[in-house]
Amino acid sequence: MALTNEKKVSGTTYVAEDIVLSILSKLPIKSLKRFSSVHKSWSCLFENLIFVNMFRNNLLSKSRSLYDGVSLILNQILEPYHWNFYLLSGGKFENKIKLDFPSLFHIPHASIIRILGSAINGILCIYDYANYTKAVLWNLATDEVMVIPLSNFSGFRYAYTTLHGFGYDDVRDDYKVIQHVAYITYNPLYDGKGDTFWEIYSLKTNSWKKLDFDMPARYTDTDTDAYLNGVCHWWGKTNNKIYLVSFNLSNEVYFITPPPFENVRDDFDDNLTVLNGYVAMISCYRNTMSFHISILGEFGVKESWIRLFDIGPLSCIDYPIGAGMKGNIFFQREDGELSCFDLTTGTIEKIDVKGEICQMIIYKENFHPIAYYQEVEAFSLALQVLFQCMILSLWVIVLVSIYLSCMNKLFSLLNVLQFKNS
């Protein structure tokens, strides 16, 4: 009789533990937390090294489909106000192309160029970090550039705007940018009264809209941000506590999630990124030459942070930059070179780029024009106007018909009365 991994125990079916762990390791963290009450051992799965290894392997294997045909964009600073963008491709990033900035940023010694969020459907949002008054959407494949207009408060003498996120609203098929505005009302009798609020930009309407709620603004000591599936993320600070702020561009709802760490020292770095479909945090203490990767399972739930990788100490590491393709973590070496750590194999490879790298973005080419979204919106508005005109015309026809019918009856009545009188 053939042996199986199943046997009857007290009238129920018993499934071997390794099969159960294998099935559970393929589930997202949110589902694992939800099922933790089913069985006592399921409440502490991430304390089981066998399960953790299975979960890691499944997470890293997802990268094969997520990152097909993608490249990397590096934002490099050579000296103050001197920036380079590079496009890296190839199996070992051997192909390197220097990119030319849009003309708006061709002002020497005047701009600190940053990429906001991610490259979404081939579109970058780049801006001047020095004053936030210059921002564009840029499609590298078509070299199309669209300047984001200033809001009513941007550039105002007593207003300070800070861009927080760029992303795609899949419900409305629209690209959006969110910014925080700190506005000071000047009064010579007082020191000044401050007011803050949020605005969101829509590419379709090419306009800004004020939001009717408040949420924690970006923590000034960390400028990392991330974007995943229609949600923008950044580190915010309120009541002297740091939180991960997650803003949904479609329903304009936000969540705040406490970080997995507490009592952070000054020598602590945390880089917000996306790792194979999860919001992730790469953290390290600068003097330890080690770093840790935690992923978030559910917005608003501190306990859903899972510390999944502990790496190091590495003798050459300076600081991590972000997560790349296929489970690669990029970091700056002490000698200034860029290197890549493979989470699957544990190997380190040097990338032929030297100099301080402040940002790394995953990019996939897309020839879809940016202006298409405004053209679609204009066409939609034109159709709405046409439809309203047609409805109005029908109402006019109906009213004229009623009027003519009434007049016809009135004339008939007058003729009858005139006939009787005669």
pLDDT of 194: 60
Task: Give exposure, 345-384, as e/b (b: 16+ Cβ within 10 Å).
Answer: eeeeeebebebebbbbbbbebeeeebeebbeebeeeeeee
Contacts of 184 (CB under 8 A, 6+ apart): 158, 159, 192, 193, 194, 195
* 165-179 confidence digits (pLDDT tens): 999 999 999 999 999
Write phi, then psi, for 362 (nearest 5 degrees). Answer: -80, 135
CA angle 364, 87, 117 (to 5 degrees): 60
* 106-141 confidence digits (pLDDT tens): 666 556 788 998 899 999 999 888 776 788 999 988
Residue 8 has pLDDT above 80, yes or no: no
Tokens representing 96 are: 């390197």
- pTM of the prediction? 0.79
Question: What is d(CA 248, CA 43) in angstroms, rounded to the nearest whole number?
Answer: 29
Residue 237 bridge partners (DSSP): 242
Domain boundary assignment for the chain: 18-61, 258-354
Confidence band of 270 (pLDDT split at 50, 70, 90): confident
Residue with tokens 């705040």: 256
What 3-state DSSP class applies to 3? coil
Residue 198 has pLDDT above 70, yes or no: yes
Q: Averaged over 42-68, what is the pLDDT?
A: 77
- Percent of the chain whose predicted confidence (pLDDT) is above 90: 19
Find out whether 146 and 204 touch, Cβ atoms under 8 Å: no
Question: What is d(CA 126, CA 136) in angstroms, rounded to the nearest whole number?
Answer: 6
* 79 CB-contact burial (10 Å; exposed 0-12 / middle 13-18 / buried 19+): exposed
Average pLDDT, the chain: 80
pLDDT of 2: 45
pLDDT of 267: 56
> Which of residues 252 and 276 earns the better pLDDT score?
252
pLDDT of 7: 45
Residue with tokens 């997202």: 28
Least Cα distance to 73 among 289, 267, 350, 357 occurs for 357
Least Cα distance to 116 among 99, 105, 98, 132 occurs for 132
Q: Where do the DSSP E strands lie in 95-192?
A: 95-99, 113-115, 123-128, 135-139, 144-147, 159-169, 174-185
| H or E element at residue 395 | helix 371-421
> Which of residues 248 and 290 earns the better pLDDT score?
248
Q: Averaged over 68-75, what is the pLDDT?
A: 82
pLDDT of 296: 93
Find out whether 281 and 294 touch, Cβ atoms under 8 Å: yes
Find out whether 83 and 76 touch, Cβ atoms under 8 Å: yes
Range with the poorest average pLDDT among 159-168, 259-268, 302-311, 394-403 = 259-268
Tokens representing 25 are: 């390791």
Question: What is d(CA 206, CA 200) in angstroms, rounded to the nearest whole number?
Answer: 11
- Percent of the chain whose predicted confidence (pLDDT) is above 70: 81
Query: How many beta carbons lie within 10 A of that of residue 162, not counting itself?
Result: 16
Q: Averaged over 272-288, what is the pLDDT?
A: 83
Residue 17 has pLDDT above 80, yes or no: no
User: The dihedral of CA 155, 232, 169, 363: what is its sign?
Assistant: positive
Question: What is d(CA 203, CA 125) in angstroms, rounded to the nearest whole number?
Answer: 12
49-61 vs 17-24: helix axis angle to the nearest 10?
40
* 366-419 confidence digits (pLDDT tens): 888 887 655 555 556 666 767 777 888 788 888 878 877 887 877 777 777 777
Question: What is d(CA 42, CA 47) in angstroms, rounded to the nearest whole number?
Answer: 10
pLDDT of 208: 93
pLDDT of 348: 84
pLDDT of 263: 56
